[in-house]
Structure 1
Amino acid sequence: MEFDRLITAMVTPFDSSGAIDWEALEPLVEHLLATGSKGLVVAGTTGESPTLSTDEKLALFRRVKEIAGTRAAVIAGTGTNDTAYSEQITQKAVSCDIDGIMAVTPYYSKPSQEGMYHHFKRVAEAAPSLPVMIYNIPGRCIVNLEPKTLLHMTGISNIRSVKEASGDFDQISHVIEHTPDYFQVYSGDDSSTLPLMSVGGTGAVSVASHIAGREMSTMIDRFADGNPAQAASLHRSLLPKMKACFMTPSPAPVKGMLEQLGLISRYTRAPLLPLTGAEVTQLKKTFDPGPEIKTEHFEP
C-alpha cells in the first residue's frame, strides 16, 4: 500500500475551447513516466479539479490508468469541501481501477479538527481497499490539519500518507516522529522536498517534476542513497526553477513550459488565466538553455 518517492500532481490538458484535450493526455503521461515520476495524482487541485465535472474526473481516472498501467500508481483526486460529494466520487473512482485516493482538506468551509476527522473518515471508508493520502495545504484551504488530528486518523487502516504543504517543519517533524513506520509523509512544496526528507520524510508530490522530473528524481534518490551533498547541490540548482513554476497561479506556468516542450497547450480554465507571451518569455529565461538540468556528473 506504499507509494514511491516521486509523485507528480498532474495537470489536465485543455484545448482553446476549454475542453479536455484527450489527444494530449497520452504524450503527457508518457513524458512524466519517462522523466522519473512513479505516481500520478489525477484531477487533483493542480489538475484544476474545481473546474472538472464528475464525468470528466472519472474519465480522466480511467484513461490515465489505461495509459500508465502498472508503471506508476494512479491516485485519484477526489477531495472537495463537500463531504457527501467527496464520499460519492471516491466510491465511483474505485471502479476506475486506480491505485489510491488523494483528498485535500475542505477549503473555504473552515471545519473544526473534529469535522475534518469525520470528513476524511468517510472518504477513506468509501474506498476501503485503497490507500488514502491526505493533502494539508493551509495557504489555500485556510484550515490546518493539526498533528493530533492526523495521528488520530492513522487509526483508520487505509489512511497511509499525507502531502504536507504547511511549511511548518516543527509540525512535520512531529508527524514523522509519532506516526507508524508505514505512514508516508510527502512534501507538497517542491522547494521543501529535500528539507522534508532530511527530517525523515518520504519524497514529494511535485509540480516541478512536469519539467524537471529527472533532476527531481535524481535529487531524491541521491539523498535516499546516502549522498546528501549531491542532493543538496541539485536542490540549489533546481530552486529557481521550482519557484518559477509558481510565478503566476499554478498550474499556468507549468502548462506554459509544457507547451514549449510541444506536449500540451498552455490553456487553463477560468478563473485561472494562461500565461501571456511576455510571461512565457520570462519563464523561458529561467529554464534556459533547456527545461532540465544536466545530471550526467552525478551518475555513478
Structure 2
Amino acid sequence: MSFGKVLTAMVTPFDDQNKVDFDQTSILIEHLISSGSDGLVITGTTGESPTLTRSEKISLWKHAVQTVHQRVPVIAGTGSNNTSDTIEMSRQAEAAGVDAVMLVAPYYNKPDQEGLYRHFKAAAESVSLPVMIYNVPGRSAAKIEPETVIRLSKISNITSVKEASGDLNAIASIVAHTDPGFSVYSGDDHLTLPAYVIGAAGIISVASHVIGDEMQRMLRLFDLGRGRKAGALHRELLPIYEGMFSAPSPAPVKEALRCIGIETGGVRLPLRALNKEEKEDIRSLLNHSSVQN
C-alpha cells in the first residue's frame, strides 16, 4: 500500500512553556501539505514521541485528522516496547480517525526475531487499520531482519515498512520478496533517491519540512527517465539532509522551520536547544543552498 512518495515525519510544535501548540500545529500542517508532503507521520521520533504523554498523543492525532480533513494520509506513531501498550495506543489512534499506524521496533528489551514477529502480529490483529513497521536499529537496538519483514508482510493489514537501517541490500531484498502491494519507505533522507531507484515507494523524511517540493521534483525526474538530472539534484540536497541531523533531531529542523517563518518552538529534555553557532550554521546552510525556500 502506498501512502505517496514524500511523507513528512512531522515535528511537534511547542509553545514557550513547552506545551503542545495546536495553533502552530495547524499552521505547520498547512505548510507541509502545500509544499510537497503526500502524507504526515504524527508522534514519531521526529515528533518527540518519547516525551509526549498519552493524552498529548491522542489530542495530536485528533487535531491532525480534523485539520488535514482527508487531504493526505495521517499516520500515527503508536509503537512502544510494550506490546499491550502498543495495542492500546493503536486502538486509540484508530478511534481518533487516523489512516494508518506506524509501529517502531521494540526498544531496550531487545527481543529476538520471533519475539518481534509476535509483537507486530499481535498489534496488527488488534486494529483494522493499515500497519507500517518501523525498523530503526540505531535507536531501538533491535534490528528487524528482512526475512521477518517478509514474513510479517503476509499479515493482511501489515502493508508497509519504514526501513531506517541504512541498508540498501535490506530494502532490495524486501522489495524483491514481498507482494507488489507492500510498500517500502526509506527512513534516511540521504538515501531517498538510491532507495527509490531499487524499488522503494518513497521516503519518510525530516528534511521535507523545508525541501519537500524539491524532493518531489527529484523523484519525478527519475520517473521521467532523467536519472542524471535526478542524481544532480540529489547531490544538491545532500547538505540539507546532513544539516537536519547536525545535532540531535529535531532541534535542527525546528530551527530550519523558524528560518522560513514557521515557528515550532523548542525541544523537550533530554534533547537540548541549538546553541548560537549551531543556529547560525542552519541559517547559513539554507541561505547558501541552491534550493530557495
TM over 0.5: yes
2:9 corresponds to which letter in structure 1? A
> 2:200 corresponds to which residue?
201
Q: Distance in 2 between matches of 1:225 and 1:294?
A: 23
Deviation at 1:289, TM superposition (A): 4.3
Q: For residues 250-275 of structure 1, give each alpha carbon's deviation from its aligned partner in whole angstroms, at most 9, with x where no partner exists.
A: 10100011122221244001100121
Q: Are 1:177 and 2:156 counterparts?
A: no
| 1:288 counterpart SS class | helix
Deviation at 1:127, TM superposition (A): 1.6
Q: Are 1:52 and 2:52 counterparts?
A: yes
CA contact (8 A) 2:18 2:265 kept: no
Between the two proteins, the alignment pairs up a number of residues equal to 293
CA distance change for structure 1 residues 94 and 265 in 2, over 3 Å: closer, same or farther?
closer
1:127 corresponds to which letter in structure 2? V
CA contact (8 A) 1:266 1:275 kept: no
1:27 corresponds to which letter in structure 2? I
Q: Are 1:214 and 2:194 counterparts?
A: no
In structure 1, list runs of 5 or more residues that go unmatched: 296-300
> 1:134 corresponds to which residue?
133
> 1:3 corresponds to which residue?
3
Sequence identity percentage: 45
2:115 corresponds to which letter in structure 1? G
Q: Are 1:293 and 2:283 counterparts?
A: no
Q: Distance in 2 between matches of 1:289 and 1:170?
A: 34
> 1:150 corresponds to which residue?
149
Q: CA RMSD in A?
A: 1.4
> 2:77 corresponds to which residue?
77
Q: Distance in 2 between matches of 1:211 and 1:59?
A: 25
> 2:247 corresponds to which residue?
248
1:102 corresponds to which letter in structure 2? M
2:101 corresponds to which letter in structure 1? I
Deviation at 1:277, TM superposition (A): 2.2
CA contact (8 A) 1:210 1:258 kept: yes
Q: Distance in 2 between matches of 1:193 and 1:34?
A: 20
CA contact (8 A) 1:258 1:266 kept: no
> 1:232 corresponds to which residue?
231
Q: Distance in 1 between matches of 2:165 and 2:239?
A: 20
CA contact (8 A) 1:6 1:205 kept: yes
> 1:120 corresponds to which residue?
120
CA contact (8 A) 2:2 2:201 kept: no
> 1:163 corresponds to which residue?
162
Deviation at 1:16, TM superposition (A): 2.2
**Any residues of structure 2 matched to 1:90-129 within 5 Å, and which?**
90-128=90-128
Q: For residues 237-257 of structure 1, give each alpha carbon's deviation from its aligned partner in whole angstroms, at most 9, with x where no partner exists.
A: 000010000000010100011
